[in-house]
Amino acid sequence: MKIIDGKATATEIKSEIKSIVAKMIDEGKRPPHLAAILVGDDPASQTYVNSKAKTCQDVGFTSSLYRQEADVTEAELLKLIDFLNNDHEVDGFIVQLPLPKHISVQKVLNSVAPHKDVDGFHPVNVGRMLLGEPTYLPATPFGIMQLIERYGIETEGKNCVVLGRSNIVGTPMGVLLSRNASPGNCTVTLCHSRTQNLKAIAANADILIAAIGKPGFVTADMVKDNAVVIDVGIHRIPSDKTKSGFKLTGDVSYDEVASKCSYITPVPGGVGPMTIAGLLLNTLKAAQKEITY
Ligand code: NAP
């Protein structure tokens, strides 16, 4: 069994990006610029945004934060998005989710100009992903594809089961792994809360992607011998073994599943660090104007 080290791979990607940025600056270009909009004061969102800003700094990107009060109106938020869409100093930006209930998430995401949509959530970018055209892939699936590629995991002709069909993880994972590309060419089954015989379907997977948001859901009886298991889930659960009283765990019961796998991602240190790597790669692409619309 090999552990897929997302932390090390993300570090490798960040150092590659850092060299590219240094070269851009040598050539007299400005560094890539990622902006973030944060609405309200949700502590988790605050932590995510801070960590994205810190990582931007590490690789030499410029980052900026636009804070809005929780009672900002939808119209005011759309105005800010319009401003960033037209700011030539900003290459890409993200709107940190979740948003307060009085704001339509879809309306907001649809208002981000596709060429600045480094989260890959705009319908134009989702459509381009579906068609296999150049696009910004959503960060978590992008990060997972990077892991599969960089670890040389064979995907062609493999039976892949994705647990979860969210727009940001499960569905794009299914699309990317079934595409006629490398990595890709899997036969994909996408499971969700109405799937019947989910255990038996999972147990037939050569590659199992768990993205359902239920701690420890995937048990040893659901995993085929030598399967590749990618655990997207992230949960903070109580623990009497840590100083903080909490530990991070995934959607997979790692201790019982790991020994059956050919490859497995741990939590923490697996998919998590690759999500930010995916966002950085998208921002670099935006700065280099790699995609034309
Ligand atoms: P989500 O939007 O809540 O989607 C969960 C999916 O799982 C849904 O499609 C749901 O089915 C399905 N599901 C839930 N319970 C199920 C069950 N008992 N059996 C079968 N299917 C079930 O979650 P998400 O945003 O995709 O995130 C999934 C997990 O990944 C969460 O733990 C999240 O925190 C984590 N995550 C981690 C990262 C990272 O960077 N590591 C990034 C994103 C998400 P229905 O569609 O039928 O409701």
Mutation test residue for ligand 1: of 193, 197, 237, the one with most atoms within 8 Å of CB: 193
Secondary structure E strands in the chain: 2-3, 33-39, 62-68, 92-95, 159-163, 187-191, 207-210, 228-231, 235-238, 246-249, 263-264
Q: Residue 33: left if φ>0, alpha if ψ -120 to 50, beta else—which one?
A: beta
Same fold, 27-113 and 139-272: yes
Q: How confident is the model at residue 183 (pLDDT cuts 50, 70, 90)?
A: very high
Task: Please tell me the distance between residue 291's alpha carbon and the centre of ligand 1 in angstroms.
Answer: 30
pLDDT tens string 22-52: 999 999 999 999 999 999 999 999 999 999 9
DSSP state of 158: -
Q: Are 139 and 121 in contact (CB under 8 A)?
A: no
Residue 191: CA count within 13 A, CB half-sphere: 21
Q: Are 43 and 13 in contact (CB under 8 A)?
A: no
Residue numbers annotated as active site? 52, 96, 119
pLDDT tens string 80-95: 999 999 999 999 999 9
- Residue 279 is which amino acid? L
Domain 139-272 fold is Rossmann fold (3.40.50)
Report the pocket of ligand 1 as residue ranges, CB < 6 Å. 140, 163-166, 168-170, 191-195, 198, 211-214, 232-234, 271-272, 275
pLDDT score, position 268: 96
Kindly report which listed range (45-49, 80-84, 202-206, 228-232) carries the lowest average pLDDT score.
Answer: 45-49
Average pLDDT of 176-182?
97
The CATH homologous superfamily to which domain 27-113 belongs is: Leucine Dehydrogenase, chain A, domain 1 (3.40.50.10860)
Distance (Å, rounded) from C-alpha 119 to C-alpha 102?
Answer: 22
Number of H helices, E strands in the chain: 10, 11
Strand partners of residue 149? none
Domain boundaries, the chain: 27-113, 139-272
Element (H, E) at 83: helix 74-86
Q: Whose CA is nearest to atom 18 of ligand 1?
A: 193
Instruction: Tell me if residue 252 falls in helix, strand or coil.
Output: strand
